[in-house]
Structure 1
Amino acid sequence: MKIKNWLNSNKNLLLLTVALSLFAFYLGLHSPFYLDDFTSIMESPWIRGGESIDPLLNAYGERALGYLTFWFNFHYMGTSPESFRLINILIHLATATLLFAFLYSIQNDNSNNYRKLVAYSGALIFLLHPLNTQAVTYIVQRLASMTGFWVLLSCYCFYLARAKKMVWLYLFAVLAFALGFFTKQNAIITPLLWYAIDRFAINRARPWRYDIVGLAGLCTVALVVAWLYWPTIDALTRETDDVTRFDYFLVQGPILWQYIGNFFFPANLRLEYGIYSNPYPLWLSVLAWTAHVIVVISAFLLRKRIWLVTLGVAWYYIAHLVESSVIPITDFAFEHRTYLPNIGLVIALMPLVRYLLKLPKQRGLYALIAVVLLLTATTAYRNYQWANPYVFYQNELSYNPDNQRVKNELARYALDNGKYELGLELFEEMLANGNVKLTESLLINLMVAYGNVEEWDKAKQYEQIALRNINRMHPSYRARIYLNQGIRLKETGQCEKAYDSFEQVQRLFNGEFSSLLFRTQCDLRTGNIERARKMVKELYRKRPSDPRVEEIVQQLSSSRP
């Protein structure tokens, strides 16, 4: 039986997808939390909080929908990384399924006998591509994959509404756009993708004079608005003041080529690129952007013969507009930023896939199978790295040996797993470097590290450094600093002072569990039994299965007259 005939069965395609997905992502499913997973999710008072989602919605603004899913995970699916990552994988599968439907629909040439197989090949390449791993396995980057899902759904609904005259779907296109925007702001480019779909996939024969007039009008309006409200627009469209828009733009030229290279040759993948300023000479940036312009012009010239390439290239660069153009972001490069743009590269590859499938003796099909298997194996290996923190961090340090953030997190991982000596050794190695920056995260980790080995004087030393700048810190960092200060005071027999620290945490995040727990432990130590009895009811209501709460209950029971 020919392989092509076997692949014509929907049941076989489903079985193949499940098998390859399990092989590619199973190890990643069991990876631990990493980096921003802690600060943005597990240690976030707005997510740990419980009774009301209003503080979370107010805190995260335009990203509230994405963080609401983390809140749901935390309170209804458990706090294990597997439960969080399972949702990420399901979102990725849903996006790949939606991509299959989109690719199948836009191939409106009824003479194409390979329509389903072409669409399935594209969806499978996207599903199993290792460059997408960061948006799937790195839990906090669920926002990237969720945004990709909503934007693609919006574009699919727009296409059906426009091309198939299913007018009611315009409403769903707008709704999906809104959901994408309130997941992550880079969904703002969705209307531009609608335009690209309309212009290159639906109304390819329309005279360009109407587009030129319309685009000129929009540009004029945009320039007038920018001139009138520039201070406000400038504040809203930058994450950092440490780099100019022009410098950020120059850097993104070579970085975009690195992204493209990683798509076609997915080697040397990493989380941290460690680019925080312009490392490239001017000539290289100019050359890189010139090459991008040549690609765009070439794709435009192919719009009549190979319009899928034109649409794919347009999608790719439009999808990068927010994070890879003139909006300065602290970290210049991250692989999760390619998740939505990678859909464009898959679209652009569809003519090549169709050509390969038409080759005689299934030679092209064998080539596609080899590519898919190679991508699957590479993704599985990348997930193996994610599943083994020491392997993961060593891989990161092989590219950036002086990366302070990676060393900080490796030391933190050692501490969390009871390897206090290794953790402190890594911290002291960092501190021996005179150029080390005492970030909020590093200061908190040092307080925790020295607290774990009961070196309270050193813990206090870094606590005092943190307290000097605490008013400039994010509330979540301030709460963690006060919390660790309270723990130090409690453990050194200064419960009366510890109360003040725990109260500071409560002022920042009313009802925060850990500070209430430690304050109740202080009540037991100081003999304030009645207040401890009142507080334990609140603790038990919040976390009835927490062993520390059970211990307090037992202590209170034994203290009854």
Structure 2
Amino acid sequence: MLPALPALAVIVLWWPSLCASFQFDDWNVIVNEPRVHSLAAWWHSMPGIRPLLKLSYALNFSLDPSPTGFRVVNILIHALNATLVGLLLRTRALRAGLSEVKASHAALFAALLFALHPVQTEAVTYISGRSSSLAACFCLLSLYCWVRSEASERSVAWLLACCVCFGLAVATKETALILPLALLLYSTDRPLSQTLQRLTPLFLLMALMLAVALSLPTYRRLLAVSLDTRTIGENLLTQSHAIFYLAGQLLRISNGNADPQLPVIDALNWNAALSAFALANTLLWALLNIRRRPLAAFAVLWFMLWLAPTNSLLPRLDVANDRQLYLALIGPAWWLAVHLVTWHPTRAALRPVAGALILVALSWATYQRNLVYETEVAFWEDTAARNPESSRAANNLGMAYAIECRFSDAETAFKRAIALSSDDYYSRINLILLRKGLLPGVDPKRCRHATYN
């Protein structure tokens, strides 16, 4: 029963979100993307980036094109992931010397933290966030097979399954290429030479998949766009601040933000220098203490490793998003869980109380965050309120208002977007089209009684 508890908690907590609508990038990558509207269309679009993710969209769209059908799959993926997290952490706890009871309790609590934290809504409730949760699912399955290959008589079969799951993870999202490093980190309690020998086929597979990806024009264009966004030096300075922002999101449980406007740092200043120095020292401390302080070092390294593909060398248009924390969260969750179950014996009675309070707070924050996804108006009102200087949020709020026939509110939002950014030609065009009754997405019949300012 205990291993299934995180999955059950996921289903119960996320069930009310099934009625939520499509949001933000869902329209571009699913609803208005004909290449994922059928299996035949998907097949004709290949080869391309993230083929397995797009296949999942095509299957979903063929069975049920409504947001409910997509969200059911996302919830089930998250439930499976929470179960795998519990199983994997229990194994690691036993290897670290915890008793059966403490290992089970620590793994359960960490899995519940992973399952219920509100930052996970961006990979579950936000449908196109599936890229993070589905890739994570195959990464966790690969790690599970890796663990089984060490203790099973059928080690070769399990290692082969590990490689297959690794390939599926990369076919879902290219950031999964770092998985062999995660396996190495998980196995730091084993002899290094033995671990590296077992990892050889995965490193070879990683090199092969990287070569295949770079041979595809779509991936080369993606890389070119990334490198044109900002220099690597600028990105390192920018991400030294962004990583602290993301770490803070684990604590600020009511601060979910779909489109955070984090600064791009294009010149060295004291704040950027201090952030980079603190980050580098934290990383160095963790590397040097992986044997002496394994719990804290593992938490830090796991967190930073899974942020590395999106928050280090290669720039992204968006500096940071909550969904990047999907797997990174496991490290801090594990640290907190072990400390809770090993709390001083004189305070043993406080353990369940403290754990329950934390889980209730996370569940409530997640429930509240899921309410934001119910309608596009609610989503963009929340985003615009959290990012008052964002012209994109104001423009998208205007679109949401217009689609709901709230033309006066839409006009106000478009004007605000124009005032926030003189270069925002999208808002100018949308305002003109709104006044002419030609704005895409607006149903003239349904909105025939709508009025303007």
TM-score bin (small chain): 0.7 to 0.9
Instruction: Determine the structure 2 residue equivalent to 1:120.
Output: 108
Residue 280 of structure 2: which of 293, 310, 316 is its match? 293
Alignment of 1:71-82 (within 5 A): 71-77=58-64, 79-82=65-68
* Aligned-partner SS, 2:327: helix
**Conserved? CA contact 2:237–2:268, under 8 Å:** no
2:75 partner amino acid: I
1:139 aligns with 2:127: yes
Change (3 A) 1:394 1:359: farther
**Which runs of 5 or more residues in structure 1 are unaligned?**
1-9, 460-479, 489-561
Give, in angstroms, the shift of residue 320 of structure 1: 1.4
Alpha-carbon distance between aligned partners in 1 of 2:330 and 2:145, rounded to the nearest angstrom:
16
Instruction: Determine the structure 2 residue equivalent to 1:155.
Output: 143
Q: Which has the larger radius of gyration?
A: 1
**Conserved? CA contact 1:161–1:168, under 8 Å:** yes
1:69 aligns with 2:18: no
Alpha-carbon distance between aligned partners in 2 of 1:301 and 1:311, rounded to the nearest angstrom:
11
Instruction: Determine the structure 2 residue equivalent to 1:54.
Output: 43
* Aligned-partner SS, 2:265: coil
Alignment of 1:70-469 (within 5 A): 70-77=57-64, 79-107=65-93, 108=95, 109=97, 111-162=99-150, 164=152, 166-198=155-187, 200-203=188-191, 237-240=223-226, 241-275=228-262, 277-278=264-265, 282-356=269-343, 360-431=347-418, 435-439=422-426, 449=434, 453=437
Instruction: Determine the structure 2 residue equivalent to 1:510.
Output: none
Alpha-carbon distance between aligned partners in 1 of 2:194 and 2:10, rounded to the nearest angstrom:
44
Give, in angstroms, the shift of residue 117 of structure 1: 1.5
Q: Show CA shifts across 1:385-440 (max 9, x none).
A: 2225444323222232132222222222222223334334433443466614224x
* Aligned-partner SS, 2:366: helix
Change (3 A) 1:82 1:247: same
Change (3 A) 1:104 1:49: closer
Alpha-carbon distance between aligned partners in 1 of 2:291 and 2:38, rounded to the nearest angstrom:
55
Instruction: Determine the structure 1 residue equivalent to 2:30.
Output: 41
Alpha-carbon distance between aligned partners in 2 of 1:114 and 1:155, rounded to the nearest angstrom:
22
Alpha-carbon distance between aligned partners in 2 of 1:41 and 1:358, rounded to the nearest angstrom:
53
Change (3 A) 1:193 1:16: closer
1:117 partner amino acid: H
Instruction: Determine the structure 1 residue equivalent to 2:449.
Output: none
Alpha-carbon distance between aligned partners in 1 of 2:124 and 2:435, rounded to the nearest angstrom:
34
2:56 partner amino acid: T
**Conserved? CA contact 1:132–1:335, under 8 Å:** yes
Alpha-carbon distance between aligned partners in 1 of 2:158 and 2:5, rounded to the nearest angstrom:
31
Give, in angstroms, the shift of residue 315 of structure 1: 1.8
**What is the aligned length?**
425
1:31 partner amino acid: A
**Conserved? CA contact 2:39–2:55, under 8 Å:** no
Residue 21 of structure 2: which of 32, 39, 42 is its match? 32
* Aligned-partner SS, 1:266: coil
**Conserved? CA contact 1:91–1:149, under 8 Å:** yes
1:144 partner amino acid: S
Change (3 A) 1:110 1:247: closer
Q: Show CA shifts across 1:126-167 (max 9, x none).
A: 000011111111111110111111112112211221355633
Alpha-carbon distance between aligned partners in 2 of 1:139 and 1:287, rounded to the nearest angstrom:
37
Change (3 A) 1:124 1:390: same
Alpha-carbon distance between aligned partners in 2 of 1:297 and 1:358, rounded to the nearest angstrom:
33
**Conserved? CA contact 1:24–1:383, under 8 Å:** no
Instruction: Determine the structure 2 residue equivalent to 1:462.
Output: none
**Which runs of 5 or more residues in structure 2 are unaligned?**
445-453
Q: Show CA shifts across 1:321-347 (max 9, x none).
A: 211001011111111111121122223
Q: Show CA shifts across 1:45-90 (max 9, x none).
A: 21235644223333xx23111121111111212x221211111111
Instruction: Determine the structure 2 residue equivalent to 1:549.
Output: none
Alpha-carbon distance between aligned partners in 2 of 1:43 and 1:444, rounded to the nearest angstrom:
20
Instruction: Determine the structure 2 residue equivalent to 1:532.
Output: none
Alpha-carbon distance between aligned partners in 1 of 2:224 and 2:254, rounded to the nearest angstrom:
31
Change (3 A) 1:318 1:45: same
Change (3 A) 1:436 1:235: closer
Change (3 A) 1:242 1:95: same
Alpha-carbon distance between aligned partners in 1 of 2:362 and 2:394, rounded to the nearest angstrom:
30
**Conserved? CA contact 1:32–1:387, under 8 Å:** yes
* Aligned-partner SS, 2:349: helix
**Conserved? CA contact 2:38–2:62, under 8 Å:** no
2:122 partner amino acid: Q
Give, in angstroms, the shift of residue 295 of structure 1: 2.2
2:138 partner amino acid: W
Give, in angstroms, the shift of residue 22 of structure 1: 4.9
Change (3 A) 1:296 1:270: same
Change (3 A) 1:280 1:64: same
* Aligned-partner SS, 1:167: helix
Change (3 A) 1:94 1:361: same
Once structures 1 and 2 are overlaid, which stretch shifts more, 113-122 or 271-280?
271-280
RMSD: 3.4
* Aligned-partner SS, 1:264: coil
1:96 partner amino acid: A
Alpha-carbon distance between aligned partners in 2 of 1:377 and 1:91, rounded to the nearest angstrom:
21
Change (3 A) 1:357 1:57: farther
1:88 partner amino acid: N
**Conserved? CA contact 1:130–1:266, under 8 Å:** yes
